[in-house]
Amino acid sequence: MKKLLFTALLLMLISSCQNKQRYTQTSDEIETVKKIINAYNAKNYESIVGYFADTANVFFNSPQPFKASKLPEYHAQTDLELSSRGFLDEGLEYEMVLTDDNKTWVNFWGTWVGTLAANGKQITLPIHLTLQFIDGKVVTEYGYWDSSLMILALQEIEANYENKEIIKNAYDFFASGDVPSFLALLSPKVVWNEAENFIYAGGNPYIGADAIVKGVFEPIGNEWDYWKLTDLQLNEMSNGMVLATGRYQAKNKKNGKLLNAQFAHVWTLSNGKVTNFQQYTDTKQAAEIIK
């Protein structure tokens, strides 16, 4: 009887060990990860380091680790491109896992939203973090997300900045009368449109540099003592576009009348070349001057 009772107790003990809870959404380790996420959202980067062991390694989308002590520097660097960022409160998920070899991991899933400072574009990324704990401290962290969305957005900003510089050069060449350098910025099949009903809109759309010279630049040189662009402002836009605003200041050769008109130019570029140009201006004022 004693032997039978002992066997039953032994079986119960074995069963209890086998049924040890391996997944939970409530633990001290999960609370630590929540504190890490809250500190990140609040930009309290130094406090994040305190939750990690001194020798902890961090792997963010890379097989190459960096020390957890570098997390403040890492986050501060990525913040330079952003006007705001953080994890949304909705949909945050935490799960602690005890592996077969008795390692403790906490998985985190959340939605990160950031706004690029340069153009206000919003990036939304699902992010998965997994952190290993030993004695209440994080010893290893892995982070996974689709970095291509951010890379493409930053490349677009860089391209737009380069486009803005190209258009600035175009206006500088025009102002100095360097027509060959101006034309070199144009795509061979550039589409150029003067504003509807403008005095030089008769050939719209002008295709290619030769058509633009003959239909726009040569008439300006023949009919005006000068044609200046003042108060020039350049603004980056999306999809390879640059908006230029300013005023036309010109004097007609025939009658000496002066033109003082607002304008807007929309430039579209691809691979460093102008592919489209659209003018907007006070067409009535110019038409009345050349009567």
Q: What is the mean pLDDT of residues 1-18?
A: 50
Return the pLDDT at 125. 97
The Cα 269–Cα 190 span in angstroms is: 10
Indicate whether 63 pLDDT > 70.
yes
Indicate whether 4 pLDDT > 70.
no
Return the pLDDT at 16. 47
Bridge partners, residue 127, by sequence: 110
For residues 167 and 285, membership in a common domain is answered with yes
Confidence of residue 7 (pLDDT cuts 50, 70, 90): low
On whether the pTM is more than 0.85, the answer is no
Q: Is residue 91 a part of any domain in this protein?
A: yes
What is the token pair recorded at 185? Answer: 């910025």
For residues 136 and 167, membership in a common domain is answered with no
For residues 93 and 167, membership in a common domain is answered with no
Indicate whether 177 pLDDT > 80.
yes
Residues of the chain with pLDDT > 70, as a percent, come to 93
User: Based on C-alpha coordinates, what's the Rg of the chain?
Assistant: 32
Among 146, 180, 195, the domain-final residue is 146
Q: Is residue 6 a part of any domain in this protein?
A: no
- Domain of residue 65 covers 21-146
Chain segment 66-125, per-residue pLDDT in tens: 999 999 999 999 998 888 999 999 999 999 999 999 999 999 999 999 998 877 889 999
For residues 103 and 167, membership in a common domain is answered with no
Confidence of residue 3 (pLDDT cuts 50, 70, 90): low
Return the pLDDT at 117. 80
Q: Is residue 50 a part of any domain in this protein?
A: yes
Residues 243 and 237 sit within 8 Å (Cβ to Cβ): yes
Confidence of residue 12 (pLDDT cuts 50, 70, 90): low
Q: Is residue 202 a part of any domain in this protein?
A: yes
Q: What is the mean pLDDT of residues 272-288?
A: 95
